[in-house]
């Protein structure tokens, strides 16, 4: 798709400096840009590349000051990085809406599909499931019984959405995610043999949630495992039964949240961190990478370490315990 400089400036609500009729066909990194490219500069440490790039159009912050002659024309915006994200959406052809149901899919007569959905080959939709307007379900997806998927949600290939799961609008479920799998529940009998505890709850995913590739969200023992609006889960995350994650919380890859823990709103959890079961994490909490949270955490707190505690206290303590092997 080709776009003129004028069209991009209007799309980004930016100020154009240069020929409005310049045409670009792709978006690239600033150091790899070619004469048909648009690129961006948001980090000052890359400023020198602005004078070397071959890009036709450079998106910059409004306070960007040129130190010498610059080749690309400029589009000045309030936030160059946010504008870069908007351009990615514009150039991302994979977001084109497709419509139709593959003849190689298996759709139950007892399911309810809107007319404008897309369902790829070798996908199964089980009885009682409802697929809403403009949902995109790619190839090799399994949709269990009584699943409800809200409008404009995208489900990529290999995903398994098991029975009774409710998924909101404008969600993204990436490849090979498993939603509604059996929770990890066992109880030992008097002989020490572990007996399976039936997991009869479900998973509820609210609007505008992103679930990463190979992430697993277990259904509740009773009630619901709940992922609230705006949550973003990275790849290879384990969310156990009866967990509740608050609005707009982001969790990086390879984290594990144990059963019945509650994560507050607007939290940030770094990669390879773990949260023990039956804990309460407050709002606006930051858990730094590779932390092991074993106690409740109050709102507006940053923690790190294993076991995790206040990050400032951890840093002070580290000055001492890193030298323990050198002590006499």
Q: Which positions are catalytic?
A: 241
Residue 98: CB atoms within 10 Å:
12
What single string gives the DSSP state of each residue in 200-230? Answer: --EEEE-TT-EE-TT-EEEPPSSSEEEE-TT
DSSP string for residues in 27-70: E--GGG--TTEEEEE--GGGGGGGGT---SEEEEETT---SS--
Please tell me whether residue 166 adopts helix, strand or coil conformation: strand
Q: Where do we find the tokens 């609006």? A: 229
- CA-only gyration radius of the chain, Å: 24
Residue 191's region, left for phi above 0, alpha for psi from -120 to 50, else beta, is alpha
Cβ neighbours of residue 301 closer than 8 Å, sequence gap 6 or more:
282, 285, 286, 310
Q: What is the DSSP letter of 297?
A: B
């Amino acid at each position: 798709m080709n776009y003129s400089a004028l069209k991009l400036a209007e799309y980004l609500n930016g100020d154009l400096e240069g020929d409005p009729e310049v045409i670009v066909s792709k978006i690239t990194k600033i150091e790899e840009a070619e004469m048909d490219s648009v690129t961006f500069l948001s980090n000052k440490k890359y400023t020198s590349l602005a004078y070397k790039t071959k890009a036709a159009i450079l998106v910059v912050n409004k306070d960007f000051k040129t130190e010498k002659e610059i080749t690309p024309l400029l589009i000045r915006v309030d936030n160059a990085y946010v504008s870069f994200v908007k351009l990615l959406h514009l150039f991302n052809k994979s977001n084109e809406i497709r419509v139709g149901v593959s003849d190689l899919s298996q759709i139950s007569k007892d399911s309810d599909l809107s007319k404008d959905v897309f369902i790829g080959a070798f996908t199964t939709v089980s009885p009682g499931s409802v697929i809403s307007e403009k949902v995109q379900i790619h190839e090799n997806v399994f949709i269990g019984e009584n699943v409800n998927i809200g409008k404009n949600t995208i489900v990529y290939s290999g995903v398994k959405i098991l029975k009774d799961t409710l998924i909101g609008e404008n969600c993204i479920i990436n490849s090979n995610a498993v939603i509604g799998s059996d929770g990890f529940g066992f109880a030992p009998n008097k002989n020490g043999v572990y007996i399976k505890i039936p997991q009869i709850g479900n998973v509820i995913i609210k609007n505008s949630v992103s679930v990463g590739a190979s992430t697993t969200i277990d259904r509740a023992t009773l009630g619901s495992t709940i992922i609230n609006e705006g949550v973003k889960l990275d790849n290879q995350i384990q969310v156990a039964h009866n967990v509740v994650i608050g609005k707009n919380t982001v969790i990086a890859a390879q984290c594990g949240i144990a059963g019945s823990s509650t994560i507050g709103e607007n939290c940030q959890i770094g990669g390879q961190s773990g949260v023990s079961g039956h804990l309460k994490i407050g709002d606006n909490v930051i858990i730094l990478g590779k932390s092991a949270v074993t106690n409740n955490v109050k709102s507006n707190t940053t923690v790190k370490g294993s076991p995790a505690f206040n990050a400032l206290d951890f840093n002070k303590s580290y000055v001492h315990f890193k030298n323990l092997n050198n002590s006499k």
